[in-house]
Amino acid sequence: MASDASEITHLLKRERYHRDTAQWTLCRDAYHPDPQQTFIDVSWFQGDIDAFLQRSAQVHPGRVNVVHSAFDPVDIRIRGPRATSEAFCTITSGITLAGVDYELASYMRLVSRLQKLSDTGAWRIVRLEAIYVRDRLVCCFPGADAAAPLAMPDEVRAYPRPYRHMAFVMLNRGLKPRVDLPHEDDQESVRRVLEGNAAFLEGAGYEAAGYEA
């Protein structure tokens, strides 16, 4: 059990690093080889791993900007060939708005489901999703150039407070996050994610465990 937990921890950490550094082939290797067995459910994307990586390569063409840090899977639960993981994570990225450099920091819980492959015995990710906790957007070098406050459009104000600044940045990047993401101000949405994980761990089929793919 301890060796399985260690393998899962290293797998999850490698996957985030390879994603941040645009090493798409290595990132893909962390997931189940059958894309139909996978589902990625994050702010700007819902779908299988192959489509996620294809879109990620278009959005992040090689230069490191988005960084997942303080990511430490601490709640790993294993039942036979299935496992789940929960971890707090901080995602930071930079953006320039009206000539001023800003940094976005988003705090969330990353929730993963994994399966042990029957042929190799290796653990692979089958689902990844996030529960949003809070975020902030700060000027990298406060001064005269940053004196004028940023205007928050009504479109952005429609997003829940825990990820409103992230939505503002994404909209400025041409991405459109959903307004119904799981977040800590909506405990019912958190409960649905965690209950889906528990159902998966106990052997429920994909539909019962909350899969939409």
Residue 102 in any domain: the answer is yes
Q: Which two tokens stand for residue 2?
A: 């301890």
Q: CA-CA distance, 99 to 1, in Å (whole number)?
A: 52
Q: What is the pLDDT of residues 137-187, one digit of tens each?
A: 999 887 755 556 788 899 999 999 999 999 999 999 999 999 999 999 999
Determine how many CB atoms are found less than 10 A away from the CB of residue 64: 10
Residue 207 in any domain: the answer is no
Q: What is the pLDDT of residues 24-71, one digit of tens each?
A: 999 999 999 999 999 999 999 999 999 999 999 998 877 889 999 989
How many Cα atoms sit within 13 Å of 182 on the Cβ side?
Answer: 20
Number of domains within the chain? 1
Q: Over the chain, what is the mean pLDDT?
A: 91
Residue 63 in any domain: the answer is yes
Q: What is the pLDDT of residues 84-137, one digit of tens each?
A: 999 999 999 999 988 889 999 999 999 999 999 988 899 999 999 999 999 999
- Structural domain span for residue 173: 2-201
pLDDT at 123: 98
- Across 82-117, b (16+ Cβ under 10 Å) vs e yields bbbbbbbbebebebeeeebebebbbbbbbbbbbbbe
- Give the distance from CA 100 to its chain's centroid: 27
Q: Note whether 139 and 149 are within 8 A (CB).
A: no
pLDDT at 158: 96
pLDDT at 208: 46
Which CATH number goes with the domain that contains 142?
3.10.450.50
pLDDT at 141: 84
pLDDT at 68: 94
Residue 14 in any domain: the answer is yes
Fill in the amino acid letter for 35. Answer: P
Residue 210 reports pLDDT greater than 60:
no
Q: CA-CA distance, 88 to 106, in Å (whole number)?
A: 11
Q: What is the DSSP string of 184-199?
A: TTBHHHHHHHHHHHHH
Q: CA-CA distance, 70 to 67, in Å (whole number)?
A: 10
CB contact set of 119 (below 8 Å; sequence gap of 6+): none
Q: Note whether 27 and 50 are within 8 A (CB).
A: no
